[in-house]
């Protein structure tokens, strides 16, 4: 664990309130998929933790929701390219188990980020196993990274994803909540479960999985 200066090299607006921020650091560091960085925001001096969306050890991608009235998210999403910010890395224990066990990933909102990193990490191994990602948001306008998910699906045939919309119908998504998926016949092919998103979603998913006799040691989670 060390404090490092992160330089913003690219910023993209993915939806009306979600930003992709890409930083670089001078010397590479070893990070496990699912970990996060604790940033010291330069103006407010607030400390805020953000899950890593992907990194090669030197370039770091974050997917951050700018919350109305949220001082931390507003400040970091207002950074301009070229600006630097101090972060402590690596932190966190929500770490992918790199094994051939079939895995189900369930995320809502920007809980997408560490799960995406974990799926990419599996793709970077020589392991071939079933991976399914359930991504839940409110409306179609809240969806991002669809082209990237399709690219991943084409490159790793054992990966698939489903979009869930809680407040809208769409031909490309399922109307409902991601936790609706958690019934015996749907989870039967999977043995490890990775959950990230709102506390309410994570709590409901854990409770459903445990009622379905899933071993607690096979459920990994992070909540925002």
How many helices (H) and strands (E) are present in the chain, helices listed first? 5, 13
109 plus 201 within the same structural domain: yes
What average pLDDT does the segment 34-62 reach?
97
CATH number (domain holding residue 197): 3.40.50.80
64 plus 129 within the same structural domain: no
108 plus 86 within the same structural domain: no
Q: What share of the chain is helix, strand, coil (3-state, %, to 5)?
A: 25, 35, 40
Please provide the average confidence, as pLDDT, over all residues in the chain. 97
Asked, for residue 98, whether it belongs to a domain, the answer is no
In this prediction, residue 169 carries a pLDDT of 93
Asked, for residue 26, whether it belongs to a domain, the answer is yes
% of the chain at pLDDT higher than 90? 96
71 plus 21 within the same structural domain: yes
- Model confidence, pTM: 0.96
In this prediction, residue 223 carries a pLDDT of 87
Q: What is the pLDDT of residues 122-159, one digit of tens each?
A: 999 999 999 999 999 999 999 999 999 999 999 999 99
In this prediction, residue 148 carries a pLDDT of 97
Asked, for residue 121, whether it belongs to a domain, the answer is yes
pLDDT band at 224 (very low <50, low <70, confident <90, very high): confident
44 plus 150 within the same structural domain: no
108 plus 215 within the same structural domain: yes
Domain count, the chain: 2
* Beta-strand runs (E) in 97-210: 103-108, 131-137, 159-165, 174-175, 192-197
115 plus 216 within the same structural domain: yes
In this prediction, residue 143 carries a pLDDT of 97
69 plus 144 within the same structural domain: no
Return all residues near 137 (Cβ < 8 A) that are at least 6 apart.
Answer: 108, 109, 143, 163, 164, 165, 166
Asked, for residue 96, whether it belongs to a domain, the answer is no
In this prediction, residue 103 carries a pLDDT of 98
Domain end (from 42, 70, 91): 91
173 plus 87 within the same structural domain: no
Domain that includes residue 64, residue range: 2-91
In this prediction, residue 20 carries a pLDDT of 98
87 plus 119 within the same structural domain: no
User: What is the spatial order of strands in the sheet that 59-65 belongs to?
Assistant: 47-51, 36-40, 84-91, 2-13, 18-24, 59-65, 54-55
Is the pLDDT at 109 greater than 90? The verdict is yes
């Amino acid at each position: 664990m060390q404090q490092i200066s992160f330089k913003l090299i690219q910023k993209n607006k993915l939806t009306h309130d979600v930003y992709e921020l890409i930083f670089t650091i001078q010397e590479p560091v070893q990070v496990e998929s699912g970990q996060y960085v604790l940033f010291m925001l330069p103006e407010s001096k607030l400390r805020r933790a953000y899950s890593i969306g992907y990194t090669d050890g030197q370039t770091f991608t974050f997917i951050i929701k700018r919350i109305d009235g949220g001082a931390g998210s507003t400040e970091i999403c207002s950074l301009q390219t070229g600006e630097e910010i101090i972060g402590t890395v690596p932190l966190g224990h929500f770490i992918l188990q790199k094994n051939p066990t079939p895995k189900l990933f369930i995320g809502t909102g920007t809980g997408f980020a560490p799960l995406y990193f974990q799926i990419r990490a599996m793709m970077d191994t020589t392991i071939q196993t079933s991976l399914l990602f359930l991504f839940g948001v409110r409306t179609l306008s809240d969806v991002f990274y669809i082209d990237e998910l399709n690219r991943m699906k084409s490159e790793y045939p054992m990966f698939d994803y489903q979009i869930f919309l809680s407040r809208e119908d769409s031909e490309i998504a399922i109307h409902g909540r991601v936790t609706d998926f958690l019934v015996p016949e749907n989870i039967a092919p999977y043995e490890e479960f990775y959950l990230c998103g709102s506390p309410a979603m994570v709590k409901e998913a854990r409770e459903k999985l445990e009622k379905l006799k899933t071993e607690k040691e096979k459920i990994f989670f992070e909540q925002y």
